[in-house]
Amino acid sequence: MKKRKIVSVIVCMSMIGTMLVGCQKKEETTSTQTSEATPYEAAATTEKKDNVIRIGVISSLTGGSAIYGEGAQNSITMAAEEINGSDSPYKVEIVNGGKVVDDAGDSKQAVNAYNSLESQKPDAVVGAFFSSVTLPMAEIAKDQKMLLLATGATNYKVTKVGPTIFRDCFIDPYQGKMAASFAKEQGVKKAAIIYAKDDDYSNGLKDAFVENAKAAGIEIAYTGECTTKDTDFSAQASQAVASGADFLFYPCFLDTVPLLVQQARDAGYEGVIMGGDGWDGADTTGLESYFEKCYFTNHYSSEDTAPAVQKFVTKYKEKYSEKSLNACAALYYDAIYMLVEAAKNGGGSDTASLVKGMTGMKFTGVGGTFTLDKNGDPAKSVVVNTYEKGKVKWFKTLQPEAN
């Protein structure tokens, strides 16, 4: 019996040892699994105890659209200073040392920019200004349950990616509809279109304009194609003139706008030329007379007399170059304030609370008063700007309820 008891004790001790080893392995495995969670996922699931919203910001700082990134940097700095110097219950910290991360207007670079923010564990990411660079970031944000607040990304697909994706700009179908509405108001009978076939933004605006122009009884007399890299539009301009159109729609970005306008006028086109928000910041130097009777839809006007707009414009001009005072600056500025409002609505500065507070938000800012719909898109007014002696001037504001 004694020998059996000794054997039993040995067996028992062996079983206990095995169980302890098993528990240790299980704990190690659990620890390993937890460490594999990305910083974004950890930020989204870990309860925060402070009132500081950590924000990563992405925009274009290099290339032909660097003026947008300059405006974004200035405006987020200004917004952060205002909020942190106020009695707001929530404060903001712009990660990356307060600096915008450059997407260079390139989708691959945008993904790299987004990923570079991971180690800094932001509660939300703001950006970007272009749809083509925002869409791949939105896919990642959806998977990581990160709040992504897009600014100028007007492609309707952006917010449809997932429930944590929002924006503070209007969408392309809506902007194209407003352009057609403006054309109808101006008594346009025949319209010509020149668009960049290799650009989703240009295609989206073109399609929306065509659909709504036809519904308004406007004949599409000519449709010409180009690419985002083209510099010679003489052939398309000549055909637009030959079509007898009294309205030319060019939904492309600012870098090619001066070329198109100059070549259209040189071809003998004297009618209205109109574009979208991508015209904002186009260089009219030396072409001031060419830009008469040119218009573009935009997110705001610096001439708007609303208190929120004038406060922003006055302070921006005091601190920074007026050249970078564009719609991009206004949209990034509003985005920072929207996140503070989301924290108040959701009851916390963590990602989950911000998403909760952003959903269905009603907000008033530089871009006007709007409510985010079920897709996270705002129904907002659209400004129509024109030019006087090469300077952008407010022409009128189209209200959403009128369309």
Summarised one tens digit per residue, pLDDT across range 316-366 is: 999 998 989 999 999 999 999 999 999 999 999 999 999 999 999 999 999
pLDDT band at 14 (very low <50, low <70, confident <90, very high): very low
Report the percent of the chain where pLDDT is more than 90.
Answer: 81
For residues 198-222, average pLDDT: 95
Whole-number pLDDT of residue 401: 55
Specify whether the CB–CB gap between 212 and 181 falls below 8 A. yes
Give the integer Cα–Cα distance in Å for 18 and 12.
10
Whole-number pLDDT of residue 399: 84
Give the integer Cα–Cα distance in Å for 46 and 85.
27
The per-residue pLDDT for range 232-286, each reduced to its tens digit, is: 999 999 999 999 999 999 999 999 999 999 999 999 999 999 999 999 989 999 9
Q: Quickly tell me which residue has 């659990």 as its tokens.
A: 30
For residues 45-55, average pLDDT: 79
Assess whether pLDDT exceeds 90 at residue 213. yes
Whole-number pLDDT of residue 64: 81
